[in-house]
């Protein structure tokens, strides 16, 4: 059952269309990702879900409620971590947690939350004195402090070091295990691949793809990447591009390293071809394309 429904939402700023008919729904308990290049309309879309912006057209429902007209009810069940927001510079972490938990009828255990996010050592530090990563973690805590049913996280791990990022991912997984629905805006493919059940790719204000991360990868052409350095130059590189499933062949680097995009059959065929010529493939790598490549594929097409 969908807990977030976004239908044909449009939003323009001063004549420039930021969101141009975006639709998707998020099921209860799902981690749903929104991916897209900068300026694609991701943040505007989630701001409509959070009730911070009023769509020019289309409808948004959170648990059946309109985030604008039923603002108070929606804000009680939706926690948000926003971009470009701040707290009073002289407010301490402890005071921020106390203040924000007083806003909700049944707040989470804020001290457990602080500990979970590694903020327990900085409770008496003022917001203005926190590092970027600490601020980010505090905002994640504030998004979760009201025991929300839905959390919207905009650029969750921006500014976090790799360890904190992984910790945060684990936290989000825990949050979901407790039945919370997560709407995640990100530009880290690794993050989307690791966390999301489904991903909507938004480009120029429109949804260009909506699938599971694996589905998006499969969709992209040449999902297997074979690369190697031949022990001696190939007599005819054209042979490679005629192999089954091969999509593209490129040779680069001073050592003549060759990269072939294709599928699993292509990998086999490359190896047989090289064997037939008596060429050894040095540093042979067969990789699946990442969501990164799939993403570039999807968002490049119409540029």
Partner 1 sequence: MTATLGATDPGGRPLAAVLRAETRLFLREPGSLFWILVFPAALLTILGLIPSFRKDDEALGGRSVIDLYVPVAVLLAMIMAGLQAMPPVLTGYRERGILRRMSATPVRPSALLTAQIVLHGAAALGSAVLVLAVGRLAFGVGLPRQSAGYATALLLAVACVLALGATVCALSRTSKVAAAVGSVAYLVMMFTAGVWVPVQTMPDLLRRIVEFTPFGAASQALDQAALGDWPGWTHLGVMVVWTAVLGAASTRLFRWE
Q: What are the residues binding partner 1 (CB under 8 A)?
A: 50-52, 72, 75-76, 78, 80, 82, 84-91, 95, 98-100, 102-104, 109, 111, 120, 123, 139, 142, 146
Q: Compute the least distance from the CB of residue 262 to partner 1, in Å.
A: 47
Task: Assign residue 243 a region (left: φ > 0; alpha: ψ between -120 and 50; beta: otherwise).
Answer: beta
In the complex, what is the shortest distance from the CB of residue 240 to partner 1, in angstroms, rounded to a whole number? 53
75 vs 186, which CB is nearer to partner 1?
75
The answer to whether the CB of 231 falls within 8 A of the CB of 279 is: yes
- Let me know how long the chain is: 303
Considering the complex, state which of residue 95 and residue 268 has its C-beta at the smaller distance from partner 1: 95
Task: Tell me whether residue 4 or residue 87 sits nearer to partner 1 (CB atom).
Answer: 87
Identify which of residues 6 and 82 has a Cβ nearer to partner 1 in the complex.
Answer: 82
Burial state string for 82-100 with b = 16 or more CB within 10 A and e = fewer than 16: beeeebeeeebbbbbbeeb
Choice between 60 and 243, CB closer to partner 1? 60
Least distance between partner 1 and beta carbon 123 (Å): 8
- Beta strand 224-230 with 78-81 is unpaired
Task: Characterize the bridge pairing of strands 31-35 and 181-186.
Answer: parallel
Q: How far is the CB of 211 from partner 1 (least distance, A)?
A: 29
Task: State the Rg of the chain over Cα.
Answer: 23
Query: What is the CB neighbour count within 10 angstroms for residue 297?
Result: 19
Q: How far is the CB of 90 from partner 1 (least distance, A)?
A: 5
């Amino acid at each position: 059952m969908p807990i977030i429904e976004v239908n044909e939402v449009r939003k323009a700023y001063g004549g420039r269309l930021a969101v141009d008919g975006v639709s998707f729904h998020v099921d209860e308990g799902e981690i749903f990702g929104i991916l897209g290049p900068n300026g694609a309309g991701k943040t505007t879309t989630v701001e409509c879900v959070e009730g911070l912006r009023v769509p020019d057209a289309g409808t948004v429902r959170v648990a059946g409620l309109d985030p604008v007209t039923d603002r108070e009810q929606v804000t009680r069940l939706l926690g948000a971590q926003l971009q470009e927001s701040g707290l009073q510079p002289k407010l301490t972490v402890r005071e921020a947690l106390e203040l924000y938990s007083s806003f909700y009828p049944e707040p989470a255990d804020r001290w457990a939350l602080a500990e979970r996010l590694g903020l327990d050592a900085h409770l008496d530090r003022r917001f203005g004195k926190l590092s970027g990563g600490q601020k980010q973690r505090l905002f994640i805590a504030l998004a979760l402090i009201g025991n929300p049913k839905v959390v919207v996280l905009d650029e969750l791990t921006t500014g976090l070091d790799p360890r904190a990022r992984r910790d945060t991912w684990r936290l989000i997984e825990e949050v979901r295990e407790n039945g919370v629905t997560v709407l995640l805006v990100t530009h880290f493919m690794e993050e989307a691949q690791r966390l999301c059940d489904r991903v909507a790719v938004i480009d120029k204000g429109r949804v260009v793809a909506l699938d599971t991360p694996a589905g998006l990868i499969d969709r992209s052409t040449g999902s297997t990447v074979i690369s190697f350095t031949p022990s001696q130059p190939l007599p005819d590189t054209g042979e490679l591009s005629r192999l089954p499933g091969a999509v593209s062949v490129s040779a680069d680097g001073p050592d003549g390293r060759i990269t072939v995009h294709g599928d699993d059959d292509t990998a086999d065929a490359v190896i047989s071809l090289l064997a037939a010529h008596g060429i050894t493939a040095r540093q042979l790598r067969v990789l699946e394309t990442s969501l990164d490549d799939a993403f570039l594929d999807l968002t490049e097409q119409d540029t």
